[in-house]
Amino acid sequence: MVARSSSVLIFFFVFLAISSAFPKNKDKYKPCKHLVLFFHDIIYNGKNAANATSAIVAAPQGSNLTILAPNFHFGNIAVFDDPITLDNNLHSKPIGRAQGMYIYDTKNTFTSWLGFSFSLNSTDYQGTINFIGADPIMIKYRDISVVGGTGDFFMHRGVATIDTDSYEGEVYFRLKVDIKFYECW
Amino acid sequence: MVARSSSVLIFFFVFLAISSAFPKNKDKYKPCKHLVLFFHDIIYNGKNAANATSAIVAAPQGSNLTILAPNFHFGNIAVFDDPITLDNNLHSKPIGRAQGMYIYDTKNTFTSWLGFSFSLNSTDYQGTINFIGADPIMIKYRDISVVGGTGDFFMHRGVATIDTDSYEGEVYFRLKVDIKFYECW
Amino acid sequence: MVARSSSVLIFFFVFLAISSAFPKNKDKYKPCKHLVLFFHDIIYNGKNAANATSAIVAAPQGSNLTILAPNFHFGNIAVFDDPITLDNNLHSKPIGRAQGMYIYDTKNTFTSWLGFSFSLNSTDYQGTINFIGADPIMIKYRDISVVGGTGDFFMHRGVATIDTDSYEGEVYFRLKVDIKFYECW
């Protein structure tokens, strides 16, 4: 009985750790196409112009464009052009670019709002995937919407689960994006 | 006959007053899910940091970040994190947050462009709803697109009718959002 | 044989010139509605306030709001309210407005990210069409997503092919937008 209880307990904590923000309906449906990709963001901090892949372009009153704003970066807009890779290595050959913006939009925790596209240009995939959604960064798995696509992803829709695979200071982060398409054409 | 004419006249004016910008096709279809919610926006004006739920983060040349720009605020971008309530009372218990941005994008009238999400976290609803669309503020009822959702709103699409329920100076406004989903999963 | 070879060669170059970025799947499906429209953007440069239809509202560190940023305008956000016409003449009677934003998001070529709406108000069309997507400007034909619509375009989805029909200095550009709806209601 003790053994069983601990298993239940372990299962419970593992379940918590791996649970999505809102998993419910997602598991009822089988995706018609499935893609797992990584993208890498290096934000400009005034000193890394050569390497930076994103830049702060808007900030609330009192902030500037080389340091993310206080209060959980509330009010910052960053524009990005980030390499997309098949694995979690920044130096792997990119298969496309993640391009668009993120907005820090909460004053008491880290939350961003994403509007961006994947432009894929590899042997396997040619086309774009368009995303929007809320990204409550402190939650392990967050779901955003795939609202459309072109080329190989013509008219596709789906849900993408985002996971911060790495976060180094406030300069580099890597997102794992698990894209499940439920409408394929 | 006179009585009847006035009824017609009254009906006509009521019809004008309640008519949407573009009602036509909307009434042909029955929503598969229907939600009416309110959200409350208090814009930062340099003095209300504690209460403000939104901030001007971008402005055209010559403007600043504590006063909305002249010319119908053309060129202002505001980032927001607004409480969502079930009724029109700012002090009701929030059931989630409306997060994203609005852009004032017309020089000769008040029009904004909206990109935002509802993150709902209540007993009844867990999930996000993603919106984009044009918001011609001076029209009573405006329709924007529900382009996707997650959790309880997994893969949903629909149309949301927005109505400025209250507008107090240039600091507080409250939007009533009548969300009709026509694709549910 | 020589004649035939040159024909093949000419065909090949014409094919290159007219090819879309990712044409593949698009040609398998027949649109349920088809619209070709033009919109005209005159960006504010500090001197053309009366004519300008768009303005730079965000810029990376070191740039300002009257000149597009160096490095392929990386980091600029422009807000626009552009007239939509049926032909390529800026002075034709507008049938609506294109409103929203474009973001220059690449450091080594001209690429933008688009989030905008068409608000149409003509005898033939009443309603809005909502677009997002990546716009690799240097490619002749680029596809973005039509993610929703209202009024006559209630719940529509599709793909819009954008083509820079004219580009005059860095002040005026005209986009031809070939909208193919594949989901009509």
Residue B17 pLDDT exceeds 70 = no
Predicted confidence (pLDDT) per residue in A91-147, tens digit: 999 999 999 999 999 999 999 999 999 999 999 999 999 999 999 999 999 999 999
Whether A81 sits inside 8 A of C58 (CB atoms) is no
Average pLDDT of the residues in B141-147: 98
Structure tokens at B117: 């999400």
**Cα(B144)–Cα(C28) distance, integer angstroms:** 30
Percent of chain B with pLDDT over 90: 77
Predicted confidence (pLDDT) per residue in B97-141, tens digit: 999 999 999 998 999 999 999 999 999 999 999 999 999 999 999
For the whole model, what pTM was predicted? 0.87
Question: Would you say residue A107 lies in a domain?
Answer: yes
Element (H, E) at B8: helix B2-18
Long-range contacts of C46-53 (CB under 8 A, 24+ apart): C46/B61, C48/C171, C53/C80, C53/C81, C53/C82, C53/C83
Coil, strand, or helix at residue A36?
strand
Whether A26 sits inside 8 A of B150 (CB atoms) is yes
Which residues from chain A sit within 8 angstroms of residue B130, using beta carbons? Answer: 132-134, 144-145, 147
The total domain count for chain C is 1
CB atoms within 10 A of CB B75: 32
Pairing relation of β-strands C33-42 and C172-183?
antiparallel
CB atoms within 10 A of CB C54: 27
Residue A36, chain C, CB below 8 Å: the answer is no
Model pLDDT, residue C28: 83
Residue C20 pLDDT exceeds 80 = no
Average pLDDT of the residues in B52-58: 94
Residue C27, chain A, CB below 8 Å: the answer is no
Q: What number is the ipTM of this complex?
A: 0.86
Comparison of pLDDT for C27 and B10, the residue scoring more: C27
Model pLDDT, residue C21: 54
Question: Would you say residue C151 lies in a domain?
Answer: yes
Listed range (A2-16, B156-170, C153-167) with the worst mean pLDDT? A2-16
Question: Would you say residue B131 lies in a domain?
Answer: yes
Question: Would you say residue B46 lies in a domain?
Answer: yes
Structure tokens at B8: 């017609």
CB environment B42-51: b (16+ within 10 A), e (fewer):
bbbbeeeeee
Whether B157 sits inside 8 A of C154 (CB atoms) is no
Percent of chain A with pLDDT over 70: 86
pLDDT tier at B169 (50, 70, 90 boundaries)? confident
Residue A17 pLDDT exceeds 90 = no
pLDDT tier at C2 (50, 70, 90 boundaries)? very low
Residue B101, chain C, CB below 8 Å: the answer is no
Question: Would you say residue B3 lies in a domain?
Answer: no
Residues across chain B = 185
pLDDT tier at A7 (50, 70, 90 boundaries)? very low
Comparison of pLDDT for C79 and B13, the residue scoring more: C79
- The residues in C 41-80 lying below 8 A from B, measured between CB atoms, are 44, 46, 55-58, 64-66, 77, 79-80
Question: Would you say residue B19 lies in a domain?
Answer: no
Average pLDDT of the residues in B166-180: 93
Predicted confidence (pLDDT) per residue in C60-80, tens digit: 998 989 999 888 999 999 999
Model pLDDT, residue A20: 52
Q: The domain spanning residue A65 has which CATH number? A: 2.40.480.10
Average pLDDT over chain B, rounded to an integer: 88
Model pLDDT, residue B16: 40
Residue B97, chain A, CB below 8 Å: the answer is yes
Structure tokens at C49: 């306030």
Whether B59 sits inside 8 A of C57 (CB atoms) is yes
Listed range (A149-163, B61-75, C30-44, C151-165) with the worst mean pLDDT? B61-75
pLDDT tier at A90 (50, 70, 90 boundaries)? very high
Whether C146 sits inside 8 A of A148 (CB atoms) is yes
Q: What are the helix and strand counts (H, E) for chain A?
A: 1, 9
Range of the domain at A123: 33-183
Per DSSP (E only), the strands in C86-169 are: 96-104, 112-121, 126-135, 142-151, 157-168
**Could you say which of A79, A128, A155 has the minimum Cβ distance to residue C105?**
A79
Model pLDDT, residue B28: 83
Residue C134, chain A, CB below 8 Å: the answer is yes
pLDDT tier at A169 (50, 70, 90 boundaries)? confident
Question: Would you say residue B12 lies in a domain?
Answer: no
Question: Would you say residue B25 lies in a domain?
Answer: no
Average pLDDT of the residues in B80-87: 97
Whether A143 sits inside 8 A of B130 (CB atoms) is no
**Cα(B19)–Cα(C153) distance, integer angstroms:** 17
End-to-end CA distance of chain A: 52
Whether A134 sits inside 8 A of B117 (CB atoms) is yes
pLDDT tier at A40 (50, 70, 90 boundaries)? very high
Q: At residue A91, what are phi and psi to the nearest 5 degrees?
A: -95, 5
